[in-house]
Amino acid sequence: MRYVSTLLAGAALFSVGGVAGAHVIDFAADLDGDHAVPVTDSTATGRSRLHYNHHGYLFDIEIHVDGLSLADLIGVGPNNSQAQIWIAQPGEVGEMVYDLGENAAFTESADGLDFHGKLYSMGDDINTIIYRRDALYDGLWFLRVYTRAHPAGEIAGAFYLVPAPVSAGLGVMGLICVARRRR
């Protein structure tokens, strides 16, 4: 019984430390034509990672797209943007909240198209920040990539939370408890 209580105390200690140290929360989105509104027949695909700093209310975003060229993207989409983030229920258009083309642009390489946007703010007032943060956590943020062939969005995908790795301290504590029990 003593070992179980030691394990629980250690787990609590390390999990609290792990949460407090986790300032950046990662989200990912898988992009394709099936998630665009309206659905498209595009064979292009993509993936995105969004790194949200919940203390500074800022996020960075990376996007990689396969099956499109830079010429497909230029000067299309709402506000002539190449990519935007919308808050919407699945299958709905929703509300555009970030025009990603304002801070950065896609670049083309042999591997496809890449986008790296830095330090987007969640908003200017607490109500906007809470609304956008809650929508992100609820899986209502959608990334859309616009092309000449599909100016309403060729590929899209919803962001989902990427599970954080288990704290190394938690694993070490478990091994110590098991080793002590075998003595």
- Checking if the pLDDT of 77 tops 80, the result is no
| Topology, domain 23-163 | Immunoglobulin-like (2.60.40)
**What does pTM read for this prediction?**
0.78
The three-point CA angle 80-82-85 to 5° equals 105
3-state secondary structure of 120: strand
Give the pLDDT of residue 15.
40
State the Cα torsion 36-39-41-45 to the nearest 10°.
20
Lowest mean pLDDT among 57-61, 83-87, 119-123: 119-123
Segment 103-109 shows an average pLDDT of 85
Q: Residue 169: pLDDT above 60?
A: no
Rounded distance between C-alpha atoms, residue 44 and residue 41, angstroms: 9
165: amino acid identity, one letter: P
Q: Is the pLDDT confidence value at 178 over 80?
A: no
Q: What percent of the chain has pLDDT over 70?
A: 76
What would you report as the CA-atom Rg of the chain, rounded to the nearest whole angstrom?
A: 21
Mean pLDDT of 147-156: 94
Say whether pLDDT at 7 is over 90. Answer: no
Q: Please report the pLDDT score of residue 164 as a whole number.
A: 80
176 has pLDDT over 90:
no
Query: How does strand 107-109 pair with strand 112-121?
Result: antiparallel
Domain ranges of the chain: 1-22+165-183, 23-163
On the question of pLDDT at 127 being above 50, the answer is yes
